[in-house]
């Protein structure tokens, strides 16, 4: 079953790159007492993700902060090194927390995994954006196959 509005976010961990190397971050650390926008892409450097989704959040990061968002976080079923390289490529700086879900464990916990085997990509996370307040999903925006609308930064910002 997929996450829905009003659900508590499932427990889990991501990996992110720090100045000291790869570090784990728990969902408790990520969500507790904060307003977080967690958006997922099927893969770092893939066309729509790289040209539209990530850049949209980078461009509007200050507007999200002005609306009370504490953290913008991007996740993908990629390893921490790929997520770090993609963050550098996308000039995210400290605007977006780049979170690796290398084994798709969190995508599966959310019920938002995607079988991309037909594209040679294995199990991935669907394209989505969640607004989470103190660990509870307040907005759940999951894209239909092949779409890029409801998880776009401008669309999510308009909901806040």
- Catalytic residue numbers? 49
Sign of CA dihedral 157, 67, 49, 16: negative
C-alpha distances (whole Å) from 19 to each of 23, 26, 31 are 10, 18, 22
C-alpha distances (whole Å) from 131 to each of 37, 100, 109, 157 are 5, 18, 17, 10
Rounded CA-CA distance 91/99 in Å is 15
Phi and psi, residue 2, nearest 5°? -85, 150
Give the closest residue to 153 by CA, choosing from 40, 42, 60.
60
């Amino acid at each position: 079953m997929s996450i829905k509005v009003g659900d508590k976010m499932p427990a889990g961990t991501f990996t992110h790159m720090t100045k000291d190397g790869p570090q784990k971050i728990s969902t408790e650390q990520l969500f507790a007492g904060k307003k977080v926008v967690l958006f997922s892409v099927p893969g770092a450097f893939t066309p729509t993700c790289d040209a539209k989704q990530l850049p949209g959040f980078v461009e509007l990061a200050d507007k999200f902060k002005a609306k009370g968002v504490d953290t913008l976080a991007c996740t993908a079923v990629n390893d921490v090194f790929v997520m770090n390289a993609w963050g550098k490529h996308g000039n995210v700086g400290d605007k977006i927390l780049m979170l690796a879900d290398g084994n798709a464990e969190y995508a599966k916990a959310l019920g938002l995994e995607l079988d991309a085997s037909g594209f040679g990509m294995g199990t991935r996370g669907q394209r989505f954006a969640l607004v989470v307040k103190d660990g509870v999903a307040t907005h759940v925006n999951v894209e239909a196959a092949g779409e890029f609308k409801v998880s776009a930064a401008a669309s999510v910002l308009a909901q806040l």
